[in-house]
Amino acid sequence: MFEQDIIQILEKSVKGEVKLEVPPDPKLGDFAFPCFSLAKDFKKSPVQIAQDLAKSLHKPEVVDRITATGPYVNFFLHPGKVAKNIISEVLKEKKRFGSKDEGKGKLVAIDYSHPNIGKPFHFGHLRSTIIGESIARMLECRGFKVARLNYLGDWGTQFGAMIYAFLTWGNHKDLDKEPIKYLVSLYVKFHAEAEKDPALQDKAREWFVKLEKGDTQAVELWGLFKSHSIVEFKRIYEVMGAKFDSYSGEADSARQVEEAIEHVRKKGVTELHEGALIVRLQGFEAPLMLRKSNESSTYASRDIAALLFRVHELHADKVLYVVGHEQAQHFQQLFALMDILGHPKENFMHVSFGLYMTAEGKLSTRKGRIVLMEDVLKDAISLALKTIQEKNPDLRNKDEVARSVGVGAIVFGDLLNDRVKDVQFDLKRILSFEGDTGPYLMYTHARAASIVEKAKKQKLKPSADVDFLTLKHVTEDRVVKLLAHFPDRVGDALQQFKPHVLAQYLIELGRAFNEFYHACPCLQEENEELKKARLTLIEAARQVLENGLYLLGISAPMEM
């Protein structure tokens, strides 16, 4: 956070771009400037250049001393002055600390979660939902306007299969009892029967064509399946704390497909191949199919229609797709085609992620190998409530806190992983309340809040008008400097669209805070000035933990 002050004084003495590094060992300073690239201009060795610069540079206000170690110029920040700057800013900005206006005037449309209608919200949907929600919050934190789009999977041959299955084996009485579970049982039955009789796949395709052409019976059943599904999805999202601006799915895009296909045709890049309308794209062996030989639209053509709508009607400056890495080529082709249509592919991004795996392979509805999100949430909340009853039975709002902690455990357990990697599904690990977990951070936040609350009995409250120079302990300095890094870590996480960067930072901050908590008692401190300074540091740390957890989609209870 103080890099710019150091860079400005370096720019007065050296030519070219100035980049600072963070030394691997804190004993070497808070920032370091490598002098290797200056040897040619200065006609000296990097070691000599570093020594000369260390002696001649004018120290910025927040820098305590400048030294030379080998070919590096090392800058040591002044703990008290850094504390005053950072803590005062946190107290002033509060929930806005870490935010910037870099995205002002820009709209980012982010497509995430997108479950399929007629199927339960299973654990496989978790990654897209929480990665997307976290990125959306970080974008808003940096000043972007965000359109949260839940592009439901509500179109395609699978719904022909579902309609056929219901008409063949289903009934409305059982559907009304437990609609989603019943539809899943029919879907699994269809694929089991189709393995014995492949002709059933033709039946599915026939019913989907009827649906596309507006067959009354097909449309009525499809609408019934969809309405039941959206009710189920919203119930799960409410528990998870996720909301969307739009639930417009593939069916809505299907209505715009012909217009989209005509838009592509005018560019002269389409051709017929064995009755199907395709586009051959440079660098891709497989073509992009816009229309099947039976005249049905395709996933690709519906995605093109949806993307054109987001560009032309929503006026999105950037469109993000939070979708599993299995669809990487699809999005590469989609963005390449958009480039041909005059929309730079740089405006679109596939935020890919690995999948949750079981010992048998990836989660799959058609094979009956699923873990329901509702079951996982119930288990997590139940475990949280049990832990609370054991450790703090007199806690107010136990059910509300248990819900926050249980959901937070699941969310953080996922976001701590780099999104690009596959994750082995392990319910016990995800729900663990030990180690680097969401509950650990939430408890750390509650501990800080408790100290601030207890201080009121001593008629003390956090204030920027204290003597921060009294904060001299190594653990105090560590917490202060980590607080200073928060805005940059948010920026790093957003630049890479990787929430785990922020999650790992919060774990580091949580550890540092707890070391400080044990090493430097606050309310028992006899030095009144030091007590006030520590209390203010505690409130600043609490605020940053709250801000960081919020950006990950996690609430921070004041009591646990």
> Taking Cα atoms as reference points, which of 298, 256, 294, 303 lies closest to residue 275?
294
For residues 356 and 236, membership in a common domain is answered with: yes
Same domain? 504 vs 357: no
Axis-axis angle for helices 299-312, 257-265 (nearest 10): 90
**Cut 0.75: pTM above it:** yes
- 470 φ, ψ (degrees, to nearest 5): -75, -15
Residue 369 inside a domain? The answer is: no
From the number of C-beta atoms within 10 Å of its C-beta (0-12, 13-18, 19+), residue 93 rates as middle
In a domain, 291, yes or no: no
* Token duo for residue 281: 């794209």
Residues 343 and 420 in one domain: no
Among 321, 273, 384, 301, which Cα is nearest to 151's? 321
Structure tokens at 276: 């199907």
Question: Which residues neighbour 3 within 8 Å (Cβ) at sequence distance 6 or greater?
Answer: 20, 31
| Residue that the structure tokens 């550890």 belong to | 511
CA distance 323 to 363: 15
Alpha helices in 142-171 (DSSP H): 157-169
Assess whether 71 and 199 both reside in one domain.
Answer: no
**How many Å apart are CA 98 and CA 94, to the nearest integer?**
9
The answer to whether residue 292 is domain-embedded is: no
The rounded radius of gyration (Å) of the Cα atoms in the chain is 28
**533 & 415 share domain:** yes
CB 301 within 8 A of CB 261: yes
Provide the domain count of the chain: 3
Q: Which domain holds residue 39?
A: 3-77
pLDDT tens for the chain, 560 residues long, are 789 999 999 999 998 899 999 999 989 999 999 999 999 999 999 999 999 999 999 999 999 999 999 999 999 999 999 999 999 999 999 999 999 999 999 999 999 999 999 988 887 788 999 999 999 999 999 999 999 999 999 988 899 999 999 999 999 999 999 999 899 899 999 999 999 999 999 999 999 989 988 999 999 999 999 999 999 999 999 999 999 999 999 999 989 999 999 999 999 999 999 999 999 999 999 999 999 998 878 999 999 999 999 999 999 999 999 999 999 999 999 999 999 999 999 999 999 999 877 656 665 555 555 678 888 899 999 989 998 999 899 999 999 999 999 999 999 999 999 999 988 777 677 677 778 999 999 999 999 999 999 999 999 999 999 999 999 999 999 999 999 999 999 999 999 999 999 999 999 999 999 999 999 999 999 999 999 999 999 999 999 999 999 999 999 999 99
One domain, residues 334 and 483: no
Looking at the DSSP bridge assignments, the partners of residue 276 are 273
Domain presence at residue 336: yes
Question: Are 358 and 397 part of one and the same domain?
Answer: no
Neighbours of 7 (CB within 10 A): 16
